């Protein structure tokens, strides 16, 4: 069923942050920072994959994601919904179901055997494809997925995520220069505000996280080991 009436964007952001906090997807640790895939430290880490295990929350967030995309990109803007391997696959399937559209997924790299495909499912030339992922940090990882979609002759001018870091100014430019618009439900700023409202972490921890959010590169440089 296609959702048609949902809260304003600001309320969607607040509720999304609240749900992520409720299921323990948000992790703050300023004493022993997390190491990101880039190898750099961070006092914050988010695990959107946990959402698939919470049916009421995942259903609500997929309604939010669907209505956000339709509000911002158009109600008849897409012909195919593609998930990025692996975290984007379940969310793409749920959005495709709501929008009554075909679903596909994009591999990070070719299988190495058989058809050696990166696209699984039926994607055809001229289709307008929405790329769905769980989150984005600086936008860089999305470009490979977008290029794989475009190699089929389809177009991909939009990507939708549940969570967008919202702290690296180059992100939207990176995507925009590649012809891709970003649609997201909430950012670290929304999560920080809701965490403060709930008293979900100590004030000292939240203050340190805010320092990171205001100057992430400088914070990472100051906290690198070795």
The pLDDT value given to residue 91: 98
* pLDDT of 224 above 70: yes
Band (1; pLDDT cuts 50, 70, 90): low
Distance of CA 46 to the CA centre of its chain: 11
The pLDDT value given to residue 39: 82
- Identify the residue whose tokens are 């990025």: 84
The pLDDT value given to residue 169: 86
pLDDT in tens, 86-110: 999 999 999 999 999 999 999 998 8
The pLDDT value given to residue 197: 97
The pLDDT value given to residue 115: 64
The pLDDT value given to residue 112: 64
CATH number 3.40.190.10 is the correct assignment for the domain at 9-200 = no
Enclosing H/E stretch for 45: strand 44-46
* pLDDT of 4 above 70: no
Q: Which two tokens stand for residue 146?
A: 């977008």
Band (140; pLDDT cuts 50, 70, 90): confident
150-168 mean pLDDT: 96
Alpha-carbon distances, residue 164 vs 22, 104, 167 (angstroms)? 18, 22, 9
152-181 mean pLDDT: 95
Rounded to two decimals, the pTM is 0.93
pLDDT in tens, 29-87: 999 999 887 788 999 999 999 999 999 999 999 999 999 999 999 999 999 999 999 99
189-210 mean pLDDT: 96
* pLDDT of 114 above 60: no
Edge-to-edge order in the sheet of strand 181-187: 119-120, 103-106, 80-84, 128-136, 155-164, 181-187
CB atoms near residue 130 (< 10 Å): 25
pLDDT in tens, 7-29: 999 999 999 999 999 999 999 99
The pLDDT value given to residue 226: 61
The pLDDT value given to residue 116: 62
The pLDDT value given to residue 37: 74
CB neighbour class for 17 (10 Å; exposed up to 12, middle 13-18, buried from 19): buried
pLDDT in tens, 115-137: 668 999 999 999 999 999 999 98
Say if CB 27 and CB 46 are below 8 A apart. Answer: yes
DSSP state of 60: H
Task: Please tell me the distance from the alpha carbon of residue 118 to that of residue 3, in angstroms, as a whole number.
Answer: 31
The pLDDT value given to residue 15: 97
């Amino acid at each position: 069923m296609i959702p048609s009436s949902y809260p304003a964007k600001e309320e969607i952001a607040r509720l999304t942050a609240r749900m992520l906090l409720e299921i323990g997807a948000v992790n703050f640790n300023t004493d022993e920072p997390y190491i990101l895939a880039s190898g750099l430290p961070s006092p914050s880490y988010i695990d959107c994959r946990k959402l698939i295990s919470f049916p009421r929350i995942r259903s609500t967030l997929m309604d939010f994601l669907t209505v956000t995309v339709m509000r911002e990109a158009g109600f008849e803007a897409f012909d195919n919904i593609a998930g990025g391997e692996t975290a984007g696959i379940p969310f793409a399937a749920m959005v495709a179901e709501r929008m009554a559209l075909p679903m596909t997924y994009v591999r990070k790299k070719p299988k190495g055997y058989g058809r050696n495909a990166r696209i699984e499912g039926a994607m055809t030339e001229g289709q307008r494809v929405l790329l769905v992922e769980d989150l984005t940090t600086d936008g860089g990882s999305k470009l490979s997925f977008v290029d794989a979609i475009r190699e089929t002759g389809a177009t991909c001018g939009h990507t939708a995520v549940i969570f967008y870091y919202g702290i690296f100014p180059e992100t939207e430019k990176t995507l925009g220069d590649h012809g891709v618009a970003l649609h997201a439900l909430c950012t670290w700023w929304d999560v920080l505000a809701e965490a403060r409202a709930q008293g979900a972490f100590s004030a000292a921890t939240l203050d340190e996280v805010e320092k990171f959010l205001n100057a992430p590169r400088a914070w990472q440089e100051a906290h690198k080991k070795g």
